[in-house]
Amino acid sequence: MKIPSSFTVAGARYDVRVQTKVPTVEGHRCIGHSDHDKHLVTIDSRLPEHAQVEVFWHEVVHCVNAIMARHDDLGEQLADSLAHGIHDVIQQVYES
């Protein structure tokens, strides 16, 4: 799957950047990050391609939750689980 340069959630457009510089959160290096104020998703370009796709879907889940619930309090494990499930379905539907 090719990671898009942007996507829209309920009218809110997020730009996507795949680059080596990814923000840190609370002093921890991130492999992906979603900034809901700037509507920006950043993914670490040093990751293998399949991992970049997984991180993309993880960040999309955070964005959907932030826009639809007006906050992002999912937690990383739940976001990972939801992203994995969504990615599996998309692969089955569009890549089969």
Query: What percent of the chain stands above pLDDT 70?
Result: 98
- Span 80-91, mean pLDDT? 91
Task: Pull the structure tokens for residue 71.
Answer: 């906050």
CB count in 10 Å sphere of residue 30: 16
pLDDT confidence bin for 96, thresholds 50/70/90: low
Query: What percent of the chain stands above pLDDT 90?
Result: 72
Q: Is the pLDDT of residue 94 over 70?
A: yes
* Helices 49-69 & 76-94 angle (0-180, nearest 10): 110
Q: Is the pLDDT of residue 3 over 90?
A: yes
Structure pTM?
A: 0.89
- Return the DSSP state at 26: T
List pLDDT tens digits, range 33-78.
Answer: 999 999 999 999 999 999 999 999 999 999 999 998 877 778 889 9
